[in-house]
Amino acid sequence: MLVSRSFFSCVLFLCIAHAAFSQGGTSLGPEPSRAVSQPATPVASGPQITFNSVHVEGPFVAMTFDDGPHATLTPKILDLLAAHKMKATFFVVGENVAEYPDIVKRAAREGHEIASHSWSHPNLGKMGDDGVRREMQKTDDAITAAIGTRPTLMRPPYGSITARQKAWIHETFGYRIIIWDVDPLDWKRPGPNAVTSRILNETKPGSIILAHDIHPPTIEAMPATFDQLETKGFKFVTVSELLAMARPAPPKLRAAATPTIARPPVTAAPITRPAAPALRTPAPSPALPAPSPTPNG
């Protein structure tokens, strides 16, 4: 009886297992979860808002002047630009715009671009948002009052600005932030010749050149600077015009690797040394005669 019951139990177990396999279940436990690979969401790259220079197809550069307008020096620069039929961009300080609005009007009337350089020339990178916003808004209002249009560009004093500030200034005011790639350090007043030489050595197509129209040596340097840049073939446009000309830079070509030429191993030639000369045996010395016996005395 016991054997029959065991046999019956075995048959029953085999039937249940067969039914489970026929339904596709190979495991009595729950199926482990599988990580589903999701395609990476592409990160949208926003428009470029900060510029030091651009790649252009042609000898175009942008001449910029900071910190004005100055009561006497800025008009001299405007006279010189008019004589050369050149266009420039003036990054003006709001306080000076409010004091000399007619100079700003003249610059805009003669085709030059007027852009913001803050109200009082502080270090924006070390300021809170409220202070930066006041600097931007007051300057924006002063420029609009002088020429009837808002600026679209701004340059932070000293080039000091954080990445976060750039983003919200662009979002709030619509400004593109303009730095530079040619800096003659004219604010240190190194002399007109040094200013001219530095600008000539550093300028290339697409450059944004920094200068200041509040230092007399800079004004003295500009005639030679303009003449020699023109002799090199450069053409002057406003910063906004230069940005409109920007084209993607061509990819940099990698230098081709120099093929390695397999050279046969160099086998050192055996060194033949001359044989050592044979040693010669010296001839025996002749025998000396025996001494005579000494007589007794």
Alpha helices in the chain (DSSP H): 2-22, 73-84, 94-99, 101-109, 129-147, 163-173, 192-202, 216-231, 239-244
For residues 45 and 84, give the distance between their C-alpha atoms in angstroms, rounded to a whole number: 40
The single residue of 66, 140, 186, 213 carrying the catalytic annotation is 66
212 part of the active site = yes
| Residue 153 host element (H or E) | strand 153-154
Which positions ≥6 away from 124 have C-beta within 8 Å? Answer: 118, 132, 135, 156, 157, 160, 161, 165
The single residue of 117, 212, 213, 215 carrying the catalytic annotation is 212
Residue 27 in tokens: 């495991």
Is the bond leading into 151 cis (omega within 30 degrees of zero)? no
66 part of the active site = yes
Judged by DSSP in three states, 208 sits in strand
Report which residue type is found at 221.
A
For residues 187 and 195, give the distance between their C-alpha atoms in angstroms, rounded to a whole number: 10
Residues annotated as part of the active site: 66, 212
